[in-house]
């Protein structure tokens, strides 16, 4: 049988929008014991259906500031979920709603909103292990009652990480691993219906690039004005699972042309030991970006418009050393204030959140005391609130349990930290997910999105 090019393209599009039901369907009274009694397998897990979530008591208040937390059930048996909370001063920590997804054990990872605020994307870090969909989408048209919209998976890649909304609808998403959790991963692109339409790179030169040196994209940042994309390579996902000879960490970033989706150059941080995060500095005249080297405990600056001595686009330089307590902290994730002045970094296993004044890159100033004993255990995901007055941090990174070698301590709290006028931090309120969801073995909130509806004519989503 012969296929036309159009037929082949159609079949590929179907594959890239792949979404399959769990391999074992839910049978009331039959599959619940199977789920709870299933033994762990090497790497892959038995694809048992989830246990139904316990009932919860919703609230009918309508706060102006809302926090969405993409959360895993602590026991890994109950459905994973999106928890919606009030962040208003007078009702802070009030649970508004719980939105389940139809699977468990995903280890919910990063969360991001569409530009119009009507859809949230949430990725599953370990969904692959139960042969489940990797990407989950939530309808937030009614911000107080989010609903589950759909899920899907890619054909060539898995292990969803960072996400950025496209101006015309849809998302860019870094998938850190291949379909088997090895290298190379891909940069995923969806359309406005959130169907996967591309797994970049797709050109020969770009494919050779990611096959030639470990491509495990985690960090993702886009400069829409200068039409540039930066991705940072972190670790090969399968190397954190048993049996393993050790975590394979990367030392590179890729600079992409936004229009063509082609890799322009590979930037290296020697002995970086996992370049977890990269972000363009808002409003910087040279479109500079900052990247974190986890092994070194350092911040590096990228000047993507400059050329190096060999004529390659992009120059990278060491900017700031965070000191001995930042070395090998497993993860360093970041966010930057919208005025490009303040830079916040979570040092996961150091139980510390660092703050830098980066208004002058030639004279970076540290705003926190690196020896301070902060009230946080395992801080990871961090976001500056849309009003630039607070920092939201979730105290959970990754715990693979018996099947892996990355099990970072955590207290499973969402921290709501005040930002002082000088950019320094004042620890204030928390939401304790272990207590809030004790009926499902606790809960593991990995990431957040904040809606600020203070001005109904100009709502903010971040």
Sorting pLDDT into bands at 50, 70 and 90, what band is 80? very high
Sorting pLDDT into bands at 50, 70 and 90, what band is 64? very high
Q: Which of 7-16, 139-148, 167-176 has the lowest mean pLDDT?
A: 7-16
When pLDDT is averaged across residues 160-181 and rounded to a whole number, the result is 96
User: For residue range 126-145, what is the model confidence (pLDDT) as tens digits?
Assistant: 999 999 999 999 999 999 99
Pick among 3.40.50.720, 2.130.10.10, 1.10.3210.10, 1.10.10.10: CATH of 5-35+46-461: 2.130.10.10
User: For residue range 86-125, what is the model confidence (pLDDT) as tens digits?
Assistant: 999 999 999 999 999 999 999 999 999 999 999 999 999 9
CB 32 within 8 A of CB 26: no
As to burial, measured by CB atoms within 10 angstroms (0-12 exposed, 13-18 middle, 19+ buried), residue 407 is middle
Query: Encoding tokens for residue 364?
Result: 């970076």
What is residue 45's predicted lDDT score, i.e. its pLDDT? 76
The mean predicted confidence, pLDDT, of the chain is 93
User: For residue range 251-260, what is the model confidence (pLDDT) as tens digits?
Assistant: 999 999 999 9
- Cα dihedral 149→134→380→66 (10° resolution): 0
Neighbours of 362 (CB within 10 A): 5
SS3 assignment, position 190: strand
Domain ranges of the chain: 5-35+46-461
What is residue 48's predicted lDDT score, i.e. its pLDDT? 85
For residue 28, is pLDDT > 80? Answer: no
Sorting pLDDT into bands at 50, 70 and 90, what band is 9? very low
Sorting pLDDT into bands at 50, 70 and 90, what band is 35? low
Distance CA 107, CA 226 (A): 35
Query: Encoding tokens for residue 190?
Result: 């969806």
Distance CA 187, CA 201 (A): 7
When pLDDT is averaged across residues 315-330 and rounded to a whole number, the result is 98
Q: What pTM does this model have?
A: 0.91
- Look-up: residue for tokens 């207590």? 435
Distance CA 109, CA 124 (A): 5
When pLDDT is averaged across residues 387-416 and rounded to a whole number, the result is 97
- Look-up: residue for tokens 């936004």? 258
User: Per DSSP, what are the bridge partners of residue 71?
Assistant: 81, 445
What is residue 205's predicted lDDT score, i.e. its pLDDT? 96
The DSSP letter of residue 162 is: E
When pLDDT is averaged across residues 353-365 and rounded to a whole number, the result is 98
Query: Encoding tokens for residue 146?
Result: 């989010």
User: Per DSSP, what are the bridge partners of residue 107?
Assistant: none
Sorting pLDDT into bands at 50, 70 and 90, what band is 47? confident
- Look-up: residue for tokens 């849809």? 170
User: For residue range 259-289, what is the model confidence (pLDDT) as tens digits?
Assistant: 999 999 999 999 999 999 999 999 999 999 9
What is residue 12's predicted lDDT score, i.e. its pLDDT? 45
User: For residue range 284-304, what is the model confidence (pLDDT) as tens digits?
Assistant: 999 999 999 999 999 999 999
The DSSP letter of residue 78 is: B
Query: Encoding tokens for residue 100?
Result: 């389940």
Sorting pLDDT into bands at 50, 70 and 90, what band is 46? confident
Q: Which position has the higher pLDDT, 24 or 386?
A: 386
């Amino acid at each position: 049988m012969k296929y036309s090019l159009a037929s082949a393209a159609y079949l590929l599009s179907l594959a890239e929008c792949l979404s399959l039901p769990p391999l074992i369907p839910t049978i009331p009274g039959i599959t619940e014991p199977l789920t709870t009694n299933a033994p762990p397998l090497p790497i892959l897990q038995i694809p048992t259906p989830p246990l139904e979530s316990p009932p919860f008591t919703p609230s009918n208040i309508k706060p102006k500031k809302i926090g969405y937390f993409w959360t895993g059930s602590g026991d890994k048996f109950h459905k994973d979920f999106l928890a919606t909370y009030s962040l208003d001063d007078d009702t802070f920590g009030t649970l508004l709603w719980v939105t389940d997804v139809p699977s468990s054990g995903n280890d919910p990872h990063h969360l991001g909103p569409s530009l119009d605020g009507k859809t949230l994307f949430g990725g599953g870090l370990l969904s692959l292990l139960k042969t489940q969909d990797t990407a989950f989408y939530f309808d937030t048209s009614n911000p107080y009652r989010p609903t589950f919209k759909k899920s899907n998976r890619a054909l060539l890649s898995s292990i969803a990480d960072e996400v950025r909304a496209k101006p015309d609808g849809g998302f860019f998403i870094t998938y850190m691993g291949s379909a088997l959790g090895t290298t190379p991963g891909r940069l995923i692109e969806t359309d406005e219906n959130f169907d996967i339409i591309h797994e970049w790179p797709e050109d020969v030169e770009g494919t050779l690039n990611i096959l030639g040196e470990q491509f495990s994209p985690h960090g993702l940042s886009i400069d829409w004005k200068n039409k540039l994309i930066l991705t940072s390579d972190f670790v090969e996902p399968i190397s954190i699972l048993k049996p393993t000879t050790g975590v394979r960490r990367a030392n590179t970033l890729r600079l992409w042309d936004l229009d063509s989706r082609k890799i322009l150059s590979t930037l290296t941080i020697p002995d970086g030991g996992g370049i977890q995060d990269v972000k363009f500095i808002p409003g910087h005249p040279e479109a500079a970006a900052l990247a974190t080297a986890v092994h070194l405990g350092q911040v590096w600056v990228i000047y993507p418009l400059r050329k190096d001595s060999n004529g390659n686009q992009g120059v990278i330089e060491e900017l700031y050393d965070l000191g001995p307590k930042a070395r090998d902290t497993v993860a360093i994730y970041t966010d930057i204030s919208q005025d490009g002045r303040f830079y916040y970094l979570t040092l996961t296993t150091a139980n510390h959140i660092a703050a830098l004044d980066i208004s002058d890159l030639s004279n970076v100033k540290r705003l926190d005391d690196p020896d301070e004993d902060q009230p946080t255990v395992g801080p990871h995901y961090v976001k500056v609130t849309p009003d630039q007055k607070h920092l939201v941090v979730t105290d959970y990174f990754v715990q693979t349990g018996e099947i892996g070698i990355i099990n970072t301590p955590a207290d499973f709290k969402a921290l709501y930290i005040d930002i002082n006028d000088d950019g320094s931090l004042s620890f204030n309120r928390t939401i304790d997910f272990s207590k809030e969801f004790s009926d499902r073995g606790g809960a593991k909130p990995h990431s957040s999105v904040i809606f600020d509806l203070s001005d109904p004519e100009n709502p903010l989503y971040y």
